[in-house]
Structure 1
Amino acid sequence: MNSVQRSVLFSAVDRYAGLVLFLVSTAVLSRLLTPSEFGVFAVVNALTAVITAAFQEFGGANYLIQKRELSRGTIRTAFTITLGISLAIALILFATADVVSRLVAQDSVRRGIEVSALNLLVLPVSGTLIALFRRDMQFGTLAVCNLASNMAVALVSIGLAVLKFSYMAPIWGGVAGSMVLTAMLLSSYRDFSVLRPSLSEYRDVLEFGLYSSGVSVINVFYNLAPQLFLAKVLDFTAVGLYSRAINLTQVFDRLVTQVLNPTIMPAIVTRRAAGADLKGVYLDAVQLLSAVQWPFLTFVAIMARPIVLIWLGEAWLDVVPLVRILCLANLAVFAACLTYPVFLAVGRVRDALVSSCISIPPSLLALLGASFFGVEAVAACALLTLPFQAAVAIYYLSSHLALRPGEFGRALLKSGVVTMATVAGAATCAALIGTGTLNLIVGLISALVVAAFCWLWGLIVTRHPLLQHLRQAAAGLAEMAPRRLPSRPVL
């Protein structure tokens, strides 16, 4: 296995272990917290996530990874600037928590914001060390650290929920996870000298951060805006339902995109430095991602009701139509994880900000207007906004990659056939569940097996490039498996 494949493997172990913990803890918490309680947590999480995104790009992971020559002074400067901004924002959050809680007419939000601000005290340390580990492709170490952190989040959240901490249970769980992650990273890196204060290269850090943080803030705010709008216009029950629908829709991101994300930027930057044709790299990645994301999301849309009943329980059945709408809308953004790394590789991070500024503001206005018509209208709005955002991003990328619409369409043709084959298998099982021929659990398992068979059949019939990658991955796993030692003769 080459270094990229090995990195993807370790990243997969990391993300899938985290996904298992997420699924289990979510199933338990869904039965301990009401939609309204979860809605309060979702609003607090949204507010702090937007603010965190504002400073993380000033010397954060993307800056340290894309830097061709990384000196100790650069690392120290990046850490110092991140630390200073983090402390300032933590103080602002403490000071304005009461004002924010009054804006959303929910006093409990104040306490949640104050506790969540504690994460900002350790985030500069963990963020800097994670970037250094990612740059060096040390994903095995990161997997161990993240596993310990995710276990802390799950155990603390569930334990406090059992003790009736209500919406504060997952908030304290997040703080515990951040503390454990930072401690694990420090024990693994050991070279604490990179965390000494310095401002020797502040101009370079700030110049990159202005554009990069702009892209990050705009996109993070857009992703979380529906929850904030719903909290203000409707109620926290609507927020809880929409947030749970997003959780289910984003399982693909946890299964695939988040596995690839830590390796995409280092890999693309490395291949660009080696003189690789970025258009070919981009189109290959588009083919592979669409062949996995499209079938997965259509499967979740078809089987939404059984999944929600088994995973979350009957109290959350109202999320089923939301999940189906959001799954269909997210088909348009299958290549979103490639956009920023490619802009960065061609040295046009400014265009990433410009494309976001063009597509996000009208999308936000549409979401705000839809929130007055209910949570389903907000979900349906994504059917318009997400394709629009994808089209703008691809338009700007095309000029740098000399990419023609016909080439993009041909790259997606085989994935479309694979998706239709998967849909046929899943829809058959869904019909059997609907008629009562199969019960929920047997039906869902049958649907998984049938859909997987149809998906593989589609790959084989179309001779999709993903097949070759699957064979290489299987061969790599076989190489890593311990070989059986020859038995010794009995004397």
Structure 2
Amino acid sequence: MSVVQRSILFSATERYGSLLLFIVATAVLSRLLSPQEFGVFAVVNAVTAVIAASFQEFGGPNYLIQKRELSPRDVGSAFTITFGISVAIALLLFVLAHTLSQIFGQNDLQRGIEVSALNFLVTPISGTISALLRRDMKFGALTVSNLAAGVVTAFVSVLLAMAGFSYMAPIWGGLAGSIVLALVLLASHRDLSALRPSLFAYSEIVNFGLYSSGVSLINVFYNLAPQLFLARILDFGSVGLYSRATNLTQAFERLVTQVLNPVVMPAIVAQRRAGADLKAVYLEAVELLSAVQWPFLTFIAIMARPIILIWLGETWLDMVPLVRFLCIANLALFAACLTYPVFLAVGGVRDALVSSFISLPPSLLVILGASFFGVEAVAASALVTLPFQAAVAIHFLRRHLAFKPSEFVGALLKSGLVTVGTASGVWACARLTEAAALASLTGLVLSLVVAAFCWWCGLVFTGHPLLHQVRHAAMNLIRIAPGLRPSRPAL
């Protein structure tokens, strides 16, 4: 297997293991905590994430990964700047915790924000070491570290929820996971010189961080804005429903995009160094991603009701229309995981920031206006905002990659046909389930089988390039399987 394929395999192992932990922990927590309690937890996460995104990209992972020649003093400078800013963020959150809780009219937020602030004391360590391992494509150590942290987060969260800690259970669980992640990464990396204080390269890091932090801040704020608007304008129950709907909609991101994300940026940067045609790389990746993302999100939208009923329980069925709106809207983001890495590879970090400033502020205004009409209106607004954002990003990418609109559409045509075929089979199963001809679990299992069959037939019928990739990956797994089995002693 190539280095990239091996890295994707390790990344997939980690992400799917983490997803399994997330599904089980969420299923348990959803029966222990109410939508109101989940809403408080979601707002605490949103507030801390927005503040963190304002500064943490200074010297963060993206700087360490994209730099052509990386010296120990560069690494030390990146860690020093990140650690100093993280400590400042932690202190700022402690100071602002009471004020923020008053703004949202929820006193419980204060304690949650104060505990969440402690994460910033350990994330510079894990962030720096993780970036170095990603740069060197050492995803085996990352897999072990992240899975260990995920197990601790899930276990502590569920245990404390059962003990009556309410919304604080997942907050304390997240802190425990952050500490374990830092400790395991330190144990696996062992080279503590990466954490040696230095300010040798501070000017270069700050210059990169100005653009990178701008992109991170505006995108993080946009993603979390609906929850903040709903908490301020409506109630925390609406926040809980929207937060869980977003989690379900992001199942594809957890299953596929997050598997690729750690590998995409180092791989694209490596392709640039090798002089590859990034236009061809981008169009091929778009064609492959859309053939998986579109059918997947269409499946979630059609089968939303039985999925929610089985996973979260009847209390959360109000999520069904939210999930459907968000799934349909997210079809426009099939190439989102490629956008920033490609901008970075072609030296277009400034364009990434400009495109975000063009597309996200108007989208925020639409979401804010929709908040006054209820949580369903907020979800429906994504049908307008997400396609607009995708169009702006693709327009700026065309400046660097010089692909024609016809080439872009041509790369998506076969994926569209595969999606239509898959959706038709799933829709038939959904009709049987809604008519009570099938139980929810039976209908869901049957729809999965039908979806997989229709999807594969679509790939074969259209001659989709993904078919070759799937076969190639299967052959690689078969080839390495004998090496994974323990050898028998000779008799």
TM-score, with structure 2 as normaliser = 0.99
In the aligned structure 2, how far is the partner of 1:194 from the partner of 1:320?
47
In the aligned structure 2, how far is the partner of 1:442 from the partner of 1:364?
40
1:257 partner letter: T
Question: Pairwise mapping of residues 245-284 of structure 1 onto structure 2 (< 5 A)?
Answer: 245-284=245-284
Q: In the alignment, what sits opposite 1:478?
A: 478
Q: In the alignment, what sits opposite 1:431?
A: 431
Q: In the alignment, what sits opposite 2:197?
A: 197
Residues 320-352 of structure 1: CA deviation (Å, up to 9, x unaligned): 000000000000011011000000111110000
Q: In the alignment, what sits opposite 2:173?
A: 173
Check conservation: 2:359, 2:392, Cα contact below 8 A: yes
DSSP-derived class of the 2:55 partner: helix
In the aligned structure 1, how far is the partner of 2:77 from the partner of 2:2?
33
Q: In the alignment, what sits opposite 1:133?
A: 133
In the aligned structure 1, how far is the partner of 2:22 from the partner of 2:350?
35
Residues 118-166 of structure 1: CA deviation (Å, up to 9, x unaligned): 0000010000000000001010110000010000110000000000100
Instruction: Report the more deviating stretch, 66-75 or 471-480.
Output: 471-480
1:144 partner letter: V
Q: In the alignment, what sits opposite 1:347?
A: 347
Check conservation: 2:129, 2:194, Cα contact below 8 A: no
1:489 is displaced (CA, Å) by 9.8
In the aligned structure 2, how far is the partner of 1:147 from the partner of 1:296?
25
Check conservation: 2:122, 2:182, Cα contact below 8 A: yes
Q: In the alignment, what sits opposite 1:399?
A: 399
Q: In the alignment, what sits opposite 2:218?
A: 218
DSSP-derived class of the 2:105 partner: coil
1:55 is displaced (CA, Å) by 2.2
- Where structure 1 has 5 or more consecutive residues not aligned to the other structure, the ranges are none
Aligned residues: 490
Question: Pairwise mapping of residues 89-168 of structure 1 onto structure 2 (< 5 A)?
Answer: 89-168=89-168
1:488 is displaced (CA, Å) by 9.3
1:52 is displaced (CA, Å) by 1.7
In the aligned structure 1, how far is the partner of 2:398 from the partner of 2:428?
39
Q: In the alignment, what sits opposite 1:183?
A: 183
DSSP-derived class of the 1:118 partner: helix
DSSP-derived class of the 1:228 partner: helix
1:209 partner letter: G
In the aligned structure 2, how far is the partner of 1:143 from the partner of 1:19?
13
Question: Pairwise mapping of residues 204-353 of structure 1 onto structure 2 (< 5 A)?
Answer: 204-353=204-353
Residues 263-321 of structure 1: CA deviation (Å, up to 9, x unaligned): 00000000011111111000000001000000000000000000000000000000000
1:196 is displaced (CA, Å) by 1.1
In the aligned structure 2, how far is the partner of 1:103 from the partner of 1:415?
46
In the aligned structure 2, how far is the partner of 1:469 from the partner of 1:221?
36
Identity over aligned residues, as a percent? Answer: 68
Q: In the alignment, what sits opposite 1:382?
A: 382
Q: In the alignment, what sits opposite 1:44?
A: 44
2:324 partner letter: R
In the aligned structure 2, how far is the partner of 1:209 from the partner of 1:423?
43
Check conservation: 2:295, 2:419, Cα contact below 8 A: yes
2:106 partner letter: Q
Question: Pairwise mapping of residues 415-426 of structure 1 onto structure 2 (< 5 A)?
Answer: 415-426=415-426
CA change 1:106–1:147 in 2 (3 A) is same
Residues 250-270 of structure 1: CA deviation (Å, up to 9, x unaligned): 010000000000000000000
1:54 is displaced (CA, Å) by 2.0
Residues 69-120 of structure 1: CA deviation (Å, up to 9, x unaligned): 0000000000000000000110010011000000000000000000000000
1:413 lines up with 2:413 in the alignment: yes
1:437 is displaced (CA, Å) by 1.5
1:28 partner letter: V
In the aligned structure 2, how far is the partner of 1:286 from the partner of 1:489?
50
Q: In the alignment, what sits opposite 2:445?
A: 445
2:327 partner letter: C
In the aligned structure 2, how far is the partner of 1:427 from the partner of 1:276?
42
In the aligned structure 1, how far is the partner of 2:342 from the partner of 2:56?
20
DSSP-derived class of the 2:178 partner: helix
In the aligned structure 2, how far is the partner of 1:474 from the partner of 1:70?
36
1:56 is displaced (CA, Å) by 2.2
2:203 partner letter: R
Q: In the alignment, what sits opposite 1:370?
A: 370
In the aligned structure 2, how far is the partner of 1:440 from the partner of 1:88?
50
Residues 198-252 of structure 1: CA deviation (Å, up to 9, x unaligned): 0001011000000001000100100000000000000000000000000000010
In the aligned structure 2, how far is the partner of 1:104 from the partner of 1:133?
40
In the aligned structure 2, how far is the partner of 1:56 from the partner of 1:138?
23
Q: CA RMSD in A?
A: 1.2
2:361 partner letter: P
Q: In the alignment, what sits opposite 1:467?
A: 467
In the aligned structure 1, how far is the partner of 2:414 from the partner of 2:116?
45
In the aligned structure 1, how far is the partner of 2:437 from the partner of 2:373?
37
Instruction: Report the more deviating stretch, 478-487 or 388-397.
Output: 478-487
Q: In the alignment, what sits opposite 2:359?
A: 359
Check conservation: 2:35, 2:236, Cα contact below 8 A: yes
In the aligned structure 2, how far is the partner of 1:487 from the partner of 1:231?
61
2:84 partner letter: G
DSSP-derived class of the 2:54 partner: helix
Q: Which runs of 4+ in 1 moved over 3 A?
A: 483-490
In the aligned structure 1, how far is the partner of 2:112 from the partner of 2:486?
56
DSSP-derived class of the 1:56 partner: coil
1:276 partner letter: A
TM-score, with structure 1 as normaliser = 0.99
2:93 partner letter: L
1:456 lines up with 2:456 in the alignment: yes
In the aligned structure 1, how far is the partner of 2:63 from the partner of 2:490?
59
CA change 1:486–1:260 in 2 (3 A) is closer
In the aligned structure 2, how far is the partner of 1:54 from the partner of 1:228?
17
